[in-house]
Every structure is written in structure tokens, then in C-alpha cells.
Amino acid sequence: MNRLIINKLTFKVFCFLVFMMGVVVPKIAFCQEITVQVGTTTIGLNEDFEVTVTVKDGELKKYSKFPKINGMDKAEIYTSQSINFVNGQVSKTQAVTQRYRASRQGTYFLRPFTMTVNGEQVRHAGASIDVKGKSTTTNPFDSFWGRTENTEYISVQDDAFFAITTNKQNPYIGEGFTITMSFYVAVSNRATLNFYELGEQKADILKQIRPKNALEENFNIIQPVPEMVKINGKDYRQYKVYQAVFYSLSPQQISIPAIPFKMVKYDVAVNSQSIFNQMKENIKTYYSEPVSITVKELPPHPLKDQVPVGNYILKEQIASKNLETGQSVQYQFRIEGEGNLSVIEKPQIPKTGNFDFYEPTISEMLRRNNNAVYGTKDFNYYIIPNEPGLYPMKDYFSYIFFNTKKDDYDTLASQITLSVTGESRKNASIRSADLGSFYDRINEESNSLRSKNEITWEKYGINGIAVLFALVLGLSILIGKKVRQRDLDKEE
């Protein structure tokens, strides 16, 4: 009975929660209102035309470029924010306004356009703008918007820098080196900064910094996320814009020049009486320091053009070290560490009759972390021993590579020794082979000795067939001659 009451109460609570989710969640999910509006379309030559993006009950995080108007120049961009308290509820509005100026009177056209605001596309139908002579009238709301006042802005000193860095300046051929492009903002920074056309800038910069004749392992950074770092004892937020590990295929000199990087920096109004025009958008260009990377040859070695390069260790597993001949066992040869795992091939196993080695299944796993690419590459074998004995597996499984940690060539060799017991499988292999019908007739034939000169029925039979064949052949030739002679007589 008690359980029934509890179940009913649980069901009622569940229904209530579902109802509340249906009522409350939609309001939360869709409370953000985004609009794109244009200002007055009939203006004086001394006035500005405006396009404003407004986000109500939300935060204006990101927006695309404002549209172009043929014949009009883009002027300042202003941002504004207002907070209202209505019936005990807080309403927040953020806006950004692009101003346009005409140099002469006439009619200008703002074509239909679409802007992406906070990831959402907002479309506007466009407008026709009439620019008259200089206006002498005053809008009663101009003081509210801050248009009549001569607003003064000051530039707040920023504490930030742009950098392109590498973790290795003298890597070997095939050794991974990381190139990172980041923007650093000090924790103590007071200036307001924002990214400017990040996608376009990034694409242009990558054309200048990507090394030629090198393989790339991209970290695929989509959105910069701040990470706390300490530089010379000072705390910074690092915004990584791009990061990748490169493996050069040849010796080369890589030179990355000082690269410009633009950011939006806001000046702050000092005498504005309006809630708008509190900040003015400016573009500031930062420059990275030049970077030089020298890729060097590997030391001399007979296999220097074939061995992989990296910092690797060997991990191996086997189901059992004690086997019977003919008993299969699974063996895993795993190469693990930092480097370009894609160039690692399966171990070269010498030919032997002591074991049957089947082709391995191969799997690979990569992990990008701490400015490097780590991973594992597994080679899983099935092995069948054929001969009894003790067998160090290093005689069959070893791998030569250039160890970047030791600056020398190194070998990963198996540490496992197999103990094989049982009978040799060589005789079993002979018995299992199909020797054909010739051997099947051995038991049926006589094993008594016969004289070399003894005449047997087999000899008579073979000789008789040969004589008969000769007679038929001669008769055929004779008949053919007579037929040809008769044909010649008829023609005459």
C-alpha cells in the first residue's frame, strides 16, 4: 500500500516537472531577441545613416560584417548597452551601430542583406537613402542618442601581444615540431578587446607560415578558448588561434616573418551624457616576432632514409609463453610514444621454419596534447610454433628507429622468450601433403624383380600399337597421292 502511494506521488512529481519544462524551458531557450534596423532614410549631407544590430535579453557575442553601401563610406562603429527593470524583471539590451557617410547629395541604395549574429542569421530588406543638403534642424531625441554632443573618447592602454612560436628550432627530418599562433592578454589588462575577422585573417596567415614539403597534424582549433599561462612571472590568458605539428620530409630552412594581426580595440567616452556612444570601435594591429627553424639531416646510417623518427617505447603482450607445437597464440607488438605514427610499418620478420607467422591486424590511436602528438600503433599477430625449443622473440620482432631523446639510432626488441614443447611438425607436414595417385598404386603393384630382357605382354602391346599406327599413316599417304593424280588426269 505504501509503495502504491509513493508511486502515485512520484508520478505526480514527474508530471509536474514535465509541465514546468514545457512552460519554462521554451521561455528560457527563446528569450533572446535579435533585430537589425536602419535609421532615418532621409538625411542631410552632414548627417550619418545608421544600421544597428540589437540583442534583447541576451549578450551580443559575435556578429558578421556590416553591409556595404555603394557611394557611402563606413564611419565609426559604436556599441551600447542598457539595463531596464520592469515589474521586478531585468531586461538587458546590447547594440552595435555602424554609421555611413555620403560625400555628396543623391540617392543611395542599401541592398537586401543578411547578417549572422550570435550564430543566427537575420535578414533585412534593405532601404533607399536620400541625402539632401546640410541639415539645420535638430531632432529632439538627438541628445538622448548622443548625436548633438561632441563626444570625446580616450584610448585605454592595452596589455596584450600576438605571437607565433615553435617548440623546436633545430628538429631532424621526420621529427615533429609544433607551430602555435596565439593572442595573449594579461590578467591585469583594462582595455576592451575583441577578435576582428578571425577566419579571414587566419586563412591569410596560414599561407605565410605553413612549411613546404612537410606533413601536417592539425589540432583543428575552431574557437579560441582562454588558457591561463605564466610568462616571465606574469599571468596571461592565452587564446590559441592555430596549432599544428609538422614533420619535414627534407632538410630546409623555415623562415616566418613578422606577421600582422588585427584586433578590435574600444576607446571609452569621457563626456557622453547618453547611455549610447559609450565606446568607439578601432582596429589595432599587433605584430609577431620573426621565427626561424632549421631542419637538419639524420646522422649517417645504412637505414637513415627508411627508419621512423620519434621518441618511442615498446609494449608487448602474449597469451602464453609456454606452448605446444601446433598450438596458436596471439601476440601484440605495440609501439607507443611521440612521433609520426603513420609512417611506422609492420616489423620485418625473418623467414623461418620454426614458426608460422600470420599477417597482423593493425590499429592506430592518436592523442594531441601539450604541443605534441602522442599515440600507439598495434600489430596483432597469430603465431603457430612448429619446432620444440626455447626461442627469444627478439630474433623475430625488433624495430629500428631514430630516437630524438637520445639523438641516436635505437632498437625496440622483444623481451619475451617462448618455451615450445611437443613433436616436430615437419613430419606431420609431409604426411599431410597429397602425394597423388602414383603413391596410391604402390600397394597394388608387385614388388618382385624381373629381368631386364624379359618379354612381357606390355611390351607386345606397345609394339603392336606402334606398328598399327605406322600402317595407317602409310595407307593414308598412298590414298592421298592417288586422288591427286586422278584429279590431274581429269584436268588434262
Host domain of residue 261: 160-266+281-295
Residue linked to cell 531625441: 141
Mean pLDDT of 307-316: 96
Please give the tally of structural domains in the chain.
Answer: 3
Query: Looking at the domain assignment, is residue 354 inside a domain?
Result: yes
Instruction: Classify residue 116: in a domain, yes or no.
Output: yes
CATH number, domain of 326, equals 2.60.40
Based on the fold, state whether residues 338 and 388 are members of the same structural domain.
Answer: yes
Q: For 248-262, what is the mean pLDDT?
A: 96
Same domain, yes or no: 260 and 321:
no
How high is the mean pLDDT of the chain? 82
Partners of 336 in the beta sheet? 313, 376
What 3-state DSSP class applies to 352?
coil
315 and 398 share a domain? yes
Q: What does the alpha-carbon distance between residue 281 and residue 267 come to, in Å, rounded to a whole number?
A: 6
Please report how many Cα atoms fall inside a 13 Å half-sphere around the Cα of residue 126, on the Cβ side.
11
Higher-confidence residue of 492 and 268: namely 268
Query: Do 314 and 286 reside in the same domain of the chain?
Result: no
* pLDDT tier, 7 (very low <50, low <70, confident <90, very high otherwise): very low
**pTM, full prediction:** 0.60
Residues contacting 146, CB < 8 A, separation 6+: 272, 273, 274, 276, 277
One domain, residues 222 and 327: no
User: Tens digit of pLDDT for each residue in 146-201?
Assistant: 444 566 778 889 999 999 999 999 999 999 999 999 999 999 998 888 898 898 99
The answer to the question of residue 8 being in a domain is no
For residues 123 and 90, the model is more confident at: 123
Exposure letters 315-345 (e unless 16+ CB within 10 A, then b): ebebeeeebebeeebebbbbbbbbbbbeebe
Is 255 domain-assigned? yes
**How would you classify the pairing of strands 291-295 and 252-256?**
antiparallel
Please state, in angstroms and rounded to a whole number, the distance separating the CA atoms of residues 69 and 249: 49
Over range 426-453, report the average pLDDT: 55
pLDDT at site 360: 96
185 occurs within a structural domain: yes
Q: What is the pLDDT of residue 443?
A: 57
pLDDT at position 282, please?
86
Q: Is 106 left (phi over 0), alpha (psi -120 to 50) or beta?
A: left
State CA 470 to chain mean position distance.
Answer: 82
Same domain, 232 and 288: yes
Please indicate, yes or no, whether residues 133 and 166 belong to a single structural domain of this protein: no
What is the pLDDT averaged over residues 308-316? 96
Rounded alpha-carbon distances, angstroms, from residue 402 to 68, 211, 301, 376, 405: 57, 22, 10, 17, 9
285: CB partners within 8 A, 6+ apart: 260, 261, 262, 263
| 363 and 321 both lie in a single domain | yes
Tell whether the model's pLDDT for residue 441 goes beyond 60: no
For residue 87, the model assigns a pLDDT of 46
Please give the Cα distance from 169 to 449 (Å, whole number). Answer: 88
Cα distances (angstroms) measured from residue 336 to each of 266, 313, 375, 376, 377: 49, 5, 6, 4, 6
